[in-house]
């Protein structure tokens, strides 16, 4: 996939390169998640990883209000005994006629995972059989380079060449069942020293800049979206009018809380 980035956008191609090169097949997104967390954590008010592995960050622009100018009465207890949570719940329950205190929550999301492969069988000759993770057109797989497992064992996807087919044999487009991976192993035992059943694999697509601000690389779907969200987080001082220390902002005064979700397993349907 190729992408053109406007120079005026300020988006870092180096960061895009780092995100693109991280392995993150659906279900194995940790390397991508760790990088993104390091990028955004200094700029958000809270960040957490849920049970599924989604990275969720919040810029809570309402944490000091929007009730700073609320008149205290029987519906809003502003006494010293009332904690912040009680005040906030009271304010949110009592929406003013102008709606100025209606809480607004916005969630922006991009998925971290990418399509890839999963090793399903090791042949006696040391070649590997595999299944696809996510929607992949098998016809584009022959001769593709892959990196397998956490150690990134290099391999190449092979298909029986036409000159080895029987005479007058019907030539069909490749299917996953007709493909295998050569990792340079001499036999089954040699292959087992390098990979294991269940190892994931990613495509070894080099990141490259070319032309006028163009770039190509792996997993731009949706690492580009992840980068855009990360850049938006880093620029909170522009769109929110303040920083995580609690500087006053128009966004906060309107009661807007923005969540950023970097999600998992989109490529397999979640």
Domain assignment present for residue 88? The answer is: no
Are 47 and 179 within one domain?
no
Q: How many domains does the chain have?
A: 2
Q: What is the CATH number of the domain that holds 39?
A: 3.40.630.10
Q: Is residue 70 assigned to a domain? A: no
The pLDDT of 206-227, averaged and rounded, is 93
Mind listing the pLDDT tens digit for each residue in 220-250?
Answer: 999 999 999 999 999 886 666 555 544 434 4
**Are 183 and 222 members of one domain?**
no
Q: Is residue 132, in this structure, part of any structural domain at all?
A: yes
Query: pTM of the full predicted structure?
Result: 0.78
Domain CATH code at residue 138 = 2.40.30.40
141 and 165 part of one domain: yes
220 burial type by CB count under 10 A (0-12 exposed, 13-18 middle, 19+ buried): buried
Residues sharing a CB contact under 8 Å with residue 118, sequence separation 6 or more, in sequence order = 25, 130, 131, 132, 133, 198, 199, 200, 201
Domain that holds residue 181: 116-205
Q: Are residues 192 and 234 in the same domain?
A: no
pLDDT at residue 72 greater than cutoff 70 = no
Task: Select from 205, 229, 249 the last residue of a domain.
Answer: 205
Minimum mean pLDDT among 63-77, 114-128, 250-264: which range?
63-77
Across 57-84, average pLDDT: 59
In a domain, 31, yes or no: yes
Q: Are 126 and 187 in a shared domain? A: yes
pLDDT reported for residue 66: 42
Same domain, 108 and 35: yes
35 occurs within a structural domain:
yes
Whether pLDDT at 205 is above 50: yes
Q: How many CB atoms lie within 10 A of CB 57?
A: 23
Q: Do residues 5 and 215 lie in contact, with contact meaning Cβ atoms separated by under 8 Å?
A: yes
């Amino acid at each position: 996939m190729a992408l053109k980035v406007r120079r005026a956008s300020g988006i870092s191609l180096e960061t895009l390169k780092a995100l693109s090169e991280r392995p993150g097949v659906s279900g194995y997104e940790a390397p991508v998640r760790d990088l993104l967390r390091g990028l955004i954590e200094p700029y958000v008010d809270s960040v957490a990883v849920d049970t599924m592995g989604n990275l969720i960050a919040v810029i809570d622009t309402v944490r000091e209000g929007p009730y700073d100018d609320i008149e205290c009465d029987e519906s809003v207890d502003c006494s010293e005994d009332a904690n912040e949570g009680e005040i906030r719940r009271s304010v949110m329950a009592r929406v003013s006629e102008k709606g100025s205190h209606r809480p607004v929550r916005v969630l922006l999301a991009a998925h971290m995972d990418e399509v890839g492969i999963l090793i399903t069988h090791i042949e006696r000759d040391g070649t590997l059989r595999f299944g696809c993770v996510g929607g992949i057109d098998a016809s584009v797989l022959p001769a593709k380079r892959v990196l397998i497992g956490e150690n990134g064992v290099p391999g190449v996807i092979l298909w029986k060449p036409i000159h080895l087919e029987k005479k007058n044999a019907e030539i069909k487009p490749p299917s996953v069942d007709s493909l295998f991976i050569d990792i340079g192993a001499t036999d089954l035992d040699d292959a087992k020293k390098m990979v294991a059943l269940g190892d994931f694999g990613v495509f070894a697509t080099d990141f490259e800049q070319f032309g006028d601000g163009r770039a190509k690389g792996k997993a731009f779907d949706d690492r580009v979206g992840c980068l855009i969200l990360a850049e938006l987080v880093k620029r909170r001082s522009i769109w929110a009018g303040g920083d995580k220390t609690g500087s006053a902002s128009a966004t906060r005064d309107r009661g807007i809380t923005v969540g950023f979700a970097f999600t998992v397993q989109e490529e397999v349907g979640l």
